[in-house]
Amino acid sequence: MRSHDIKTLAEKWFKPQLEECREAFPRAVQRKLAEFAKRGTVRSPVAYVAVENLASQEIEHSGELFLAAYKEAFAAVSDPISPAMLGQVKRDLDALLSSESARVFKAIAYVRDACEPVKAKDAVELRARTQQKLVAELDLLVAKLTRNEVFLLADGNRIPPHSLAPTGSMNEASLQNPNTWRV
């Protein structure tokens, strides 16, 4: 399967979910501000920090949707993941996180202006931790997938390792011997 096909498969899964999140975020900000309005502290730096945390969570959720879609797409193919494919996925993840952080940063600008916080994070700071975390998860996923081999059955069918389970007790010897695996 070509990298374009994997990307298309992943996008079909995460884009509708991402759109739902994009529509829900302004309502979540309003709910958070309503909590502070009840206490009479809606224009406080504390309120902005709470909204900023909500924005960071939104960026992280978007990245997690992206990563989950690629996990599913990678699992659906039997071809190994090439370094070029991994590089493209990382670039796409970076582009997604950049656009999402710019979007949420813009969406909370009115709160930032009203609250006048001491130190507000910019769009890059909002996504930095999430980006590091998701790139590490992606690297780990690809390492696990490329380290595993696909087992061939006598009838020519291919079985990916994640669909196999060891028989009997699990120990190092049983994990090394494919004869102890069952479908």
Verify that 29 and 103 share a domain, yes or no. Answer: yes
Domain span holding position 174:
150-183
CB half-sphere exposure, 1, CA atoms < 13 A: 18
Token readout for 154 is 């006598």
Verify that 60 and 131 share a domain, yes or no. Answer: yes
Contact criterion met (CB below 8 Å) for 153 and 135:
no
What is the spatial distance between Cα 3 and Cα 49, in angstroms, rounded to a whole number? Answer: 40
pLDDT of residue 133: 93
DSSP assignment of 53-113? HHHHHHHHHHHHHHHHHHHHHHHH--SPPPHHHHHHHHHHHHHHHHHHHHHHHHHTHHHHH
Verify that 51 and 140 share a domain, yes or no. Answer: yes
More reliable by pLDDT, 69 or 157? 69
pLDDT tens for each residue of 7-26: 898 999 999 999 999 999 99
Place of tokens 């939104």: 58
Domains contained in the chain, number: 2
* Residue 159 β-bridge partners: 151
Instruction: Please determine, for residue 83, whether its predicted confidence score (pLDDT) is greater than 70.
Output: yes
Verify that 94 and 176 share a domain, yes or no. Answer: no
Instruction: Please determine, for residue 32, whether its predicted confidence score (pLDDT) is greater than 80.
Output: yes
pLDDT of residue 89: 92
pLDDT of residue 104: 95
More reliable by pLDDT, 146 or 70? 70
What is the spatial distance between Cα 60 and Cα 64, in angstroms, rounded to a whole number? Answer: 6
pLDDT of residue 118: 61
pLDDT of residue 144: 84
Is the pTM here over 0.75, yes or no?
no
Q: What is the mean pLDDT of residues 88-98?
A: 94
Verify that 89 and 157 share a domain, yes or no. Answer: no
Verify that 92 and 180 share a domain, yes or no. Answer: no
Contact criterion met (CB below 8 Å) for 51 and 33:
yes
Verify that 12 and 98 share a domain, yes or no. Answer: yes
pLDDT tens for each residue of 97-141: 999 999 999 999 999 888 876 678 888 998 999 999 999 999 998
